[in-house]
Structure 1
Amino acid sequence: MTFDASQTAWDEKTQQFHGGQDWATLSNFVEDFSVTTNGLGTPRTALEAGRKAVDLCDHYPPANQEPAKSSLAAFLWPDSYQRNVNRLLLGNGASELIDLVVRKAPAGPWKPGPFSVQYKEYERSASTNGRPLLKVNDDSPAAIACIVNPCNPTGDYKPLNQLKKWVEANVQDGGFAVIDESMQPWHSPGFREDSMTSQTEFVADLYARRGISVYVIHSWTKLWSCTGIRLGSIVCPTEEHCQALKKIQVPWSVNCVALAFLHAVVKDEAYLHDTWTLTPRWRHHTVAALQEYFPNWLTSGEPFLSWVWIDTGDMIVAERAIQLAKQAGVPVRSGLPGYQQPSHLRIAVRSPEKFQILLNAWLPLRN
């Protein structure tokens, strides 16, 4: 049996478009700029742990997700993980957990974050579960409001004090607030202090006062560049909320490779140090070069992020940029499918040497 690599990887009638597929169709593939994974590549110690776990594939993975879950809890709450571990649940990527929490939320409308566009999986899940969809500029509070912070793809970021105010204003009493912090650990070595995971008192008080349940979701496959194994987590407001999600979760949804990888990777402090050091440096180099060669293009996003959101100002220019990138073996993410932003592109932050390949491919676009 043969497979036509040129056909789409998506069933466009039933699935939400997602990037990261073009590389498999390119005979000259060099580097994937279409995904927001860590430019350092996959951590070697964790990769080796995952490889060794394949030898155990004739056994079920642990149903309690241990010891990987406790290891992640210690990563999130170094000084208080034992008090919080039972509020944590792992999933087969963030997508599984998004669907669980949207299904569990009280009946009523769904609302996105305040940014022009955000990761579409939340909207997809709300739509397939029959919820009314509020617009981004609708001031009405919702039964479930989902904000991606930092926002993928726009790069907008609400610091913790602003984020808390947004939750208070946009969620109905008794509703759910879902905060996607998948890209937030890139913030700095002090990322925990600006994360909603640190706000246990705020979360408890909001639930006591107004019955609002705050959930924090992470997709760990971007930070640790392991999108192929699928690995996510959700922090629930209480242990009881976590049990309610676990009750509707498919058993053994996180396989033995992902669990072994996670257990090892949270201990790799050198990798994170390099991430916090090199990512902003490489991103600054990327943005500076884009501004020099394409002064009419607008770049956006926080300096610590692993990607750059680019508005070329012209749909035809964006389409040409996508074609040239593919021809050079360095695919980028179009803003059209999924996000409906036809003049926009998203490119991953990569080393200056790899970015130079993309920049060279785009030189014919200069005015």
Structure 2
Amino acid sequence: MTSKASNNNSGNNTWDSKTQTFHGGQEHFFIDNFVEDFSVTTNYLGTPKKALEAARIAMGQIHHYPAANQEPAKSRLAEFLWPKNFAEHHGRLLMGNGASELIDLVVRKALDQARERGIKNPTWKGGPWNVQYQEYQRSAATNGFKILDPSSKERADMICIVNPCNPTGDYLPIEEIKGWLEQNVAPKGTVMVDESMQLWHSADFRADSLINQHEFMLSMLERDQVSVHVMHSWTKIWSCTGLRVGSVICPTAQHCEALKKIQVPWSVNGPALKFVEAVVKDDEYLNKTWENTSRLRAHLISELEKIKGFKQQGWVCHGEPFLSWVWLDVRSDEVATKAVDLARAAGVPVRSGKPGYGCNTFVRIAVREEHQAAILISAWASL
């Protein structure tokens, strides 16, 4: 059986290239022999069953508006983030329709603040990676920020870092990222740190996260009037990308209220709120995630290393051992294109590094179970 998307470059026809930034996860619409999606970095376990059932039940209430204050889902999420003192930080938390909505809110607020200070052309910088999730830069550019190269030594009015970096797999431990933020943001500037993939770190993920660095956030605010925001897209760790759930942790409750003023009401729908309310209680799901993801990732790499082209062409696997994907450099634009086509034809699409990222010799491969990975490895036997 062949793929309906055999001549389609990574599902690009689902995007308006003039107005939107390419994102993976669209090809299943076009593959008639679809088996598994290796193009998205979602949890290999799939959607948690209890939370999915809670969302299904909530569909029976869609004739009612969802809670405008996002409760009790927001309180349950706060308890998940800060198990010991969630009440202290609850006011700094805001949920949104995926992280993308919240990214745009913070960017718009940062632009207003920069122009209030008389800065006509505020600057934005990502990094320090050569590429990262593109929504931050897209929103900044759309709202009029001047985009600086990640290698620039200039302090920017707004800096955004994805840590761990999707797609490259780079990661800065907590003390290193704090140092990078201090060295790269301009006084009175705005910071966004995306920790969506940091949840895979371990059961002790909070210890190496900005979640528990409120004193640092306050010191940045008091010393340099820099506001630090921590972003989470919850759709990867809990494999619910179609539901659209994100959150932002602001430096203070006042910052959170300022975002809420420009957020459209009811941006998080009822089934999504019920999903979150249930999923944060699913300890078994997260424990399985932490127990098995690193093992499955190591297995995937060991199988990749058996492919003839791996040694002959010097392929390189990038990324931290705990991550839910492998960023693979096959050292050739032609080989990367062939790898993407072969995977798609076998019903197991991977993410090309070319559209969106401009990394023509790279492909991103999600961590999946051994029997699913075997299909991909078999498809690549001729590489």
1:47 correspondence with 2:52: yes
Query: Take 2:84 and 2:234, find their aligned partners in 1: how far apart are those partners?
Result: 21
1:210 correspondence with 2:215: no
Aligned to 1:225, which of 229, 236, 239?
239
- Tell whether the 8 Å contact from 1:290 to 1:297 is kept in structure 2 after alignment: no
- Gaps in structure 1 of 5+ consecutive residues: none
- Tell whether the 8 Å contact from 1:38 to 1:222 is kept in structure 2 after alignment: yes
- Tell whether the 8 Å contact from 1:115 to 1:136 is kept in structure 2 after alignment: yes
Q: Could you say which residue in structure 2 is the equivalent of 1:255?
A: 269
Deviations 1:11-30 (A, max 9, x none): 11110100000111000000
1:318 correspondence with 2:318: no
Name the TM-score, length of structure 1 as normaliser: 0.97
Q: CA deviation at 1:291?
A: 2.0
4+ residue segments displaced more than 4 Å: 4-7
1:297-308 matched pairs, under 5 angstroms: 297-308=315-326
- Tell whether the 8 Å contact from 1:127 to 1:133 is kept in structure 2 after alignment: yes
Moved more, 286-295 or 139-148: 286-295
Q: Could you say which residue in structure 2 is the equivalent of 1:236?
A: 250
Q: CA deviation at 1:287?
A: 1.0
Q: Could you say which residue in structure 2 is the equivalent of 1:140?
A: 154
Query: Take 2:305 and 2:144, find their aligned partners in 1: how far apart are those partners?
Result: 44
Deviations 1:103-128 (A, max 9, x none): 11133100002011100000000000
Q: Could you say which residue in structure 1 is the equivalent of 2:360?
A: 342
Q: Could you say which residue in structure 1 is the equivalent of 2:304?
A: 290
Q: Could you say which residue in structure 1 is the equivalent of 2:30?
A: 25
Q: Could you say which residue in structure 2 is the equivalent of 1:155?
A: 169
Deviations 1:194-239 (A, max 9, x none): 1101001111111111111000000000000000000000000000
1:357 correspondence with 2:375: yes
Query: Take 2:218 and 2:135, find their aligned partners in 1: how far apart are those partners?
Result: 27
**Amino acid in structure 1 at the alignment position of 2:233:** S
Q: Could you say which residue in structure 1 is the equivalent of 2:66?
A: 61
Aligned to 1:281, which of 289, 292, 295?
295
- Gaps in structure 2 of 5+ consecutive residues: 115-121
Question: In structure 1, the residue corresponding to 2:364 is in which secondary structure?
Answer: strand
Name the TM-score, length of structure 2 as normaliser: 0.93
Number of aligned positions between the proteins: 362
1:309 correspondence with 2:309: no
Q: Could you say which residue in structure 2 is the equivalent of 1:124?
A: 138
Query: Take 1:203 and 1:127, find their aligned partners in 2: how far apart are those partners?
Result: 26
Q: Could you say which residue in structure 2 is the equivalent of 1:80?
A: 85
Deviations 1:27-60 (A, max 9, x none): 0000000000000000000000000000000000
Q: Could you say which residue in structure 1 is the equivalent of 2:20?
A: 15
Q: CA deviation at 1:80?
A: 0.7
Query: Take 1:355 and 1:114, find their aligned partners in 2: how far apart are those partners?
Result: 31
- Tell whether the 8 Å contact from 1:91 to 1:233 is kept in structure 2 after alignment: yes
Q: Could you say which residue in structure 2 is the equivalent of 1:201?
A: 215
Moved more, 292-301 or 270-279: 292-301
Query: Take 1:117 and 1:63, find their aligned partners in 2: how far apart are those partners?
Result: 36
Query: Take 1:312 and 1:21, find their aligned partners in 2: how far apart are those partners?
Result: 23
Q: Could you say which residue in structure 1 is the equivalent of 2:345?
A: 327
Q: Could you say which residue in structure 2 is the equivalent of 1:173?
A: 187
**Amino acid in structure 1 at the alignment position of 2:109:** K
Moved more, 5-14 or 121-130: 5-14
**Amino acid in structure 1 at the alignment position of 2:183:** A
- Tell whether the 8 Å contact from 1:174 to 1:211 is kept in structure 2 after alignment: yes
Q: CA deviation at 1:292?
A: 2.8
Q: State percent identity of aligned pairs.
A: 57
**Amino acid in structure 2 at the alignment position of 1:170:** N
